[in-house]
Amino acid sequence: MSKLIIKNIQDAETFKSIQKNWDQLLADSPTKSVFLTWEWLYSWWKVNGNNKELWLITAWRGDEIVGIAPLMRETRKKFGLSLHAIVNLGTPQNDVGGFLFNPKDVDVPHSLFNYLDQNKDKWDIVELNEFASNGPEHNLLENLSLNNRLLWREEKNSHYFITLENNWEKFSERLARKFRYNLRRALRLAEEIGKVEIEHFSGNTATWEAFQTVIEINRHANYPRLYNSPSEQMLIKELIEQTTSGQSWLDIYILSVNNKPVAYEYGFVYEKRFEDWRSGFDTRFPTNVSIGKVLAMQVVQKCIQENYNEIDFLRGDESYKQEWMPSERSFSNIRLFNNGRIFAVFAYWWLQKIKPALKKGRLNINEKKDEIRDENNANP
């Protein structure tokens, strides 16, 4: 086996040129997601790469790429201090992180992490978000931290997902009886207003025109300013452009009642898994109708019809996810602090000790104020 060569790709033109190698490598990687595809990350970089430094750490055997750590370097300001952070490319929009390599080639991930260690003079913090907690990257990073006495901080969270059946009736049997009743009730109330329809846009039908309906619904949703951002709109446009070039990740669902679009849900399809990224509904819709439940049920039914294997709710512990009796995967947000740089050490102790102590102190003060108020009310 030929010797590994590590190259740090820092220009967009070379990034663009390795698409074919990237797709082949992702197919063999331990973590697979739209958020690790070349199409997603290249689109994200084109829109959001200003004031950041591309760090695609690549491992090569001869002319073949055998490993990629998709990262970037950015400067963060905290308390007047400048901290240089290496973070996974796509942060903060990425819901899944990871490195690309064949797990049988154990030298590759070691070499990628060794490059980070050998270039400690260029970073204060390494921040890797939404990496699988049981993935090989996690174990190697933990060993790197121990062997080099780097300061380590980890926060775990769950990604909930549901596996699908061949039909809705069989799938719904696993749901709680009360939840099934609530779904039927929500649909019945919506149908009393008018005809309920779900439109599905994918592949070449997932156009910018279709997405403009999402934007219009969102003007009256809970976060109406979300798509006022030019960068948010440009990212979707870039992804749609990738779709017209041959890939079809984007998956859009529009729910209409009485011929009026009232709710949306969209995400990405990868290996017959729907990665459910964002949703919203028109808050002017009658509040006695749980239109979010109607939307969710219709989307699940459509995914079953499309023969998808799974719906991944991605990060977030929103309560509605639990109603679908999901399974879960553990993911980690990991920070490594460079103990050779004083600002990094300060940042670590701030997050690890000082900030929690201040928060606890504020809680204690508020509790004491409540006790005094209660005593005063009891003894007028």
Mean pLDDT computed over 18-40: 94
Contact 84, 336 (CB under 8 A): no
Contact 126, 99 (CB under 8 A): no
Percentage of the chain exceeding pLDDT 70: 87
Tokens at 86, concatenated: 């290496």
246 and 145 share one domain:
no
The CATH number of whichever domain residue 248 belongs to comes to: 3.40.630
Of residues 284 and 353, more confidence is placed in: 284
154 and 177 share one domain:
no
Q: What pLDDT does residue 193 have? A: 97
DSSP H helices, the chain, are 12-17, 19-28, 38-48, 107-118, 136-147, 168-172, 177-193, 208-218, 230-244, 291-305, 319-322, 342-349, 355-378
30 and 80 share one domain:
yes
Q: Let me know if residue 320 belongs to a domain.
A: no
Q: In whole angstroms, what separates CA 32 from the centre of its chain?
A: 13
Mean pLDDT computed over 279-300: 97
User: Is 70 exceeded by the pLDDT of residue 176?
Assistant: yes
Q: Let me know if residue 372 belongs to a domain.
A: no
174 and 203 share one domain:
yes
Q: Let me know if residue 379 belongs to a domain.
A: no
SS3 19: helix
Please state, as a whole number, how many other Cβ atoms lie within 10 Å of the Cβ of residue 197: 13
Q: Pairing mode, if any, of strands 310-312 and 64-78?
A: unpaired
23 and 65 share one domain:
yes
In angstroms, rounded to a whole number, what is the distance separating the alpha carbons of residues 202 and 179? 29
The CATH number of whichever domain residue 134 belongs to comes to: 3.40.630.30
Q: Let me know if residue 223 belongs to a domain.
A: yes
Mean pLDDT computed over 133-148: 86
User: Is 70 exceeded by the pLDDT of residue 30?
Assistant: yes
In angstroms, rounded to a whole number, what is the distance separating the alpha carbons of residues 122 and 268? 35
Q: Give residue for tokens 């090989």.
A: 136
Mean pLDDT computed over 163-176: 97
Cis omega before residue 103 (within 30°)?
Answer: no
Mind listing the pLDDT tens digit for each residue in 346-380? 665 565 655 555 555 554 444 444 444 444 444 44
Question: Within a 13 Å sphere around the CA of 32, how many CA atoms are in the beta-carbon half?
Answer: 16
290 and 337 share one domain:
no
Task: Provide the mean pLDDT of the chain.
Answer: 89
Mind listing the pLDDT tens digit for each residue in 67-89? 999 999 999 887 677 888 999 99
Please state, as a whole number, how many other Cβ atoms lie within 10 Å of the Cβ of residue 231: 11
Look up the domain containing 154 and give its range: 4-158+331-361
- Structure pTM? 0.88
Mean pLDDT computed over 331-353: 74
User: Is 80 exceeded by the pLDDT of residue 189?
Assistant: yes
In angstroms, rounded to a whole number, what is the distance separating the alpha carbons of residues 303 and 297? 10
Mind listing the pLDDT tens digit for each residue in 203-255? 889 999 999 999 999 999 999 988 888 999 999 999 998 765 566 789 999 99
Mean pLDDT computed over 171-196: 97
Q: Let me know if residue 125 belongs to a domain.
A: yes
- Number of helices and strands (H, E) in the chain? 13, 13
136 and 251 share one domain:
no
192 and 124 share one domain:
no
Nearest to 236 by CA among 287, 291, 278, 195: 278
Mind listing the pLDDT tens digit for each residue in 144-165? 787 777 788 899 999 999 999 9
Nearest to 149 by CA among 372, 338, 325: 338
Contacts of 233 (CB under 8 A, 6+ apart): 215, 227
Banded model confidence at residue 337, pLDDT cuts 50, 70, 90 = confident
123 and 171 share one domain:
no
For the chain, the first-to-last Cα distance in angstroms comes to 84
Mean pLDDT computed over 312-338: 94
Of residues 352 and 106, more confidence is placed in: 106
In angstroms, rounded to a whole number, what is the distance separating the alpha carbons of residues 300 and 306? 10
In angstroms, rounded to a whole number, what is the distance separating the alpha carbons of residues 90 and 73? 11
Q: Let me know if residue 272 belongs to a domain.
A: yes
71 and 178 share one domain:
no
Q: What pLDDT does residue 355 have? A: 55
Mean pLDDT computed over 275-301: 97
60 and 200 share one domain:
no
Q: What pLDDT does residue 364 have? A: 47
173 and 304 share one domain:
yes
- The total number of structural domains in the chain stands at 2
Mind listing the pLDDT tens digit for each residue in 46-61? 999 999 999 999 999 9
Q: What pLDDT does residue 368 have? A: 44
Q: Let me know if residue 49 belongs to a domain.
A: yes
